[in-house]
Structure 1
Amino acid sequence: MKKLFLLGLFLTCGTVAFAQDQKLIVLGVAQDGGYPQIGAVQEFAAVELGQRPRQKVVSLGVVDEQAGQKFLFEATPDMSEQLYALNEYLPTPGTLPTGIFLTHGHIGHYTGLMYLGREALGASQVPVYAMPRMVGFLTNNAPWSQLVTLQNIQLKPLASGQVISLNPRLKITPFLVPHRDEFTETVGFELAGAHKKAVFIPDIDKWAKWPQQLSELLKRVDYALLDATFYRDGEIARPMAEVPHPFVEETLRLLQSLPPAERAKVYFIHFNHTNPLLQRDSPERRAVLRQGFHIADEGLALPL
């Protein structure tokens, strides 16, 4: 993968220059079903004809060159390719990361763990950071339980609001968000690097259901990668109340009064295959960018 949007080897903070040895890398931007999505014949045809690019399922990588560490956020069905892409930034044997962080138990966010098992890589004790219900889900349900019993993965329990220090310059804090928690709880992550902070919320039901004010959250971070599953109501044929997410139109209205510097912190991510923001030439994409927000693309690298 080409390192798109890489912002250079050196950045300036005030009058002090620092090497960009910590990076947050976007490894996928699509909702759990990816793009093209199963059953969408026209989407497959468009990809085959080169009219639209394939989009991997939402995932982030974090690299700390100084510490010799790299972490994966979400274990998607595209995890094999995503680990290969992450390996370009910090090569390691077998492309394995230092650890994997999971947000919740929907298919696009944990099923890539299967590739660590005996049918594929046969990994040994890869640290997997997860919330208590997620830990129980993986421990007590086949085939995931085999990963635990064979020690392909080593589960590392998280607690909402509890800071995890991965090294002196890199800290991760999970926090609960309201979502369809059929099997597990759902969290977002705050990532605090040596110089920058980011927040990652790929799935949430509605901003109004969350006691945290989104505008207040933006004040304390430099980047916010936010749920943009659907652009507007009526986008899919089934009742959208069955799969609640904040419509991008709703998020735009919520944040429209913020100053440009605050709006520029927002990177929309986790797009359903129907979302027009996936289309490079769509009027919706142009409108979002014109308002000063960003749209996450695979390969985007941001300094931490």
Structure 2
Amino acid sequence: MKVRVLGSGAGGGFPQWNCNCHNCARLRQGSLRGSPRTQSSIAVSSDGAHWVLFNASPDIRTQLEHFPAAYPRHGVRDSGIKAIILIDSQIDHTTGLLTLRESTRPLEIYCSEMVRQDLSTGFPLFPLLEHYCGVNYHPVPLDGSGFTIPGIEDLRFYSHALKSKAPPYSPHRQAPHDGDNIGVIVERISTGRKLYYAPGLGEIEPHVRAAMESADCVLVDGTFWHQDEMERAGVCAKLALEMGHLPQAGPGGMVEVLKALPAARKILIHINNTNPILDEDSAERKTLEAAAIEVAYDGLELDL
């Protein structure tokens, strides 16, 4: 299985356009050892030619321009991207669908019913796209059962509901529903090798822990280091868990969870611009290195 990290940042990317936090300011000044990041998205394939896109960030055009495997190869208009799985309906994971409106055939979109509702009402991308390429909607199961995608050989996908948050625009932001956010196991059928992908993760429920323990590689929520990180950065008083993200530090935090896993590779993605792990010389980054936990970056490629 081939995995390409197209974008590894949280909403707004890094540096964020209007942010002068400790990280963003130093990156612009050249005094922080770190890398810019676009908003989070990955692509997976079994053959390197036919890809499934996970989320469509506002940065999708730039991300695909830096990803030769997705370039058109057949005819005047084409793409290596054959289907899209939406993890949630957050603006930073779906706005890129507007860029993909130039497709010559309907977008094959796999998502939960709750995401379909949000993208049909509160943020009506699906009705809007009907005036362009159109959308073929495919519901994903929330009970962990598997599904395959036509044209994507040797890969099976297993999806389940996560404890997280619907977007601020969603009618049920304060009344969570199963399917607001999902985690996905991607299995290569011929080898049994598995990737677990969950860029938004607020709680390690039993089925989540089981999925993580079964995977050869986990690529999971690395948004915040501290529970009160946004307040520490002088941005706002919102807590990480209130925003649907399990912080890395502290008892029960993501670092503790990942250290206990048998997975060969443990990688954090969806890194917020305030997170100290973006500074490669930080004490927090050294903590991750000591625990054999990686930090995703744009362009990272995995071969499972």
Q: TM-score, normalised to structure 1's length? A: 0.80
Give me the whole-angstrom Cα distance separating, in 2, the residues matched to 1:111 and 1:232.
28
Aligned-pair distance for 1:254? 3.3
1:56 corresponds, among 24, 32, 38, to 38
1:231 aligns with 2:213: no
1:105 corresponds, among 79, 89, 93, to 89
Change (3 A) 1:152 1:49: farther
1:200 aligns with 2:197: yes
1:176 aligns with 2:161: yes
- 1:41 alignment counterpart: 20
Aligned-pair distance for 1:48? 4.5
* Partners of 1:35 and 1:56 within 8 A in 2: yes
1:217-271 C-alpha deviation (Å, 9 max, x unpaired)? 3331100011111001221121305313111121222344x37xx2643111111
- 1:7 alignment counterpart: none
Aligned-pair distance for 1:34? 1.0
Further displaced range: 230-239 or 88-97: 88-97
Give me the whole-angstrom Cα distance separating, in 2, the residues matched to 1:53 and 1:225.
19
Quote the RMSD (CA, aligned, Å): 2.5
Give the secondary-structure state (helix, strand or coil) at the position aligned to 2:148: strand
Q: 2:273 is aligned with what amino acid?
A: H
1:158 aligns with 2:140: yes
- 2:184 alignment counterpart: 189
1:92-142 C-alpha deviation (Å, 9 max, x unpaired)? 44545101110111111111111123xxx3542121111112223323453
Aligned-pair distance for 1:32? 1.6
Q: 2:137 is aligned with what amino acid?
A: L
Aligned-pair distance for 1:39? 2.1
Q: TM-score, normalised to structure 2's length? A: 0.80
- 1:24 alignment counterpart: 3
2:213 corresponds, among 210, 215, 219, to 219
Give the gaps of 5 or more residues in structure 1: 1-21
Give me the whole-angstrom Cα distance separating, in 2, the residues matched to 1:264 and 1:294.
11
Give me the whole-angstrom Cα distance separating, in 1, the residues matched to 2:284 and 2:14.
18
- Once the two structures are superposed, the pairs formed by residues 244-259 of structure 1 within 5 Å of their partners are 244-249=244-249, 250-256=253-259, 258=260
Give the gaps of 5 or more residues in structure 2: 171-178, 232-236
- 1:242 alignment counterpart: 242
Give me the whole-angstrom Cα distance separating, in 1, the residues matched to 2:78 and 2:103.
11
Number of aligned residue pairs: give it.
273
Give me the whole-angstrom Cα distance separating, in 1, the residues matched to 2:78 and 2:11.
25
Give me the whole-angstrom Cα distance separating, in 1, the residues matched to 2:94 and 2:196.
19
Further displaced range: 68-77 or 133-142: 133-142
- 1:78 alignment counterpart: 59
Change (3 A) 1:91 1:283: farther
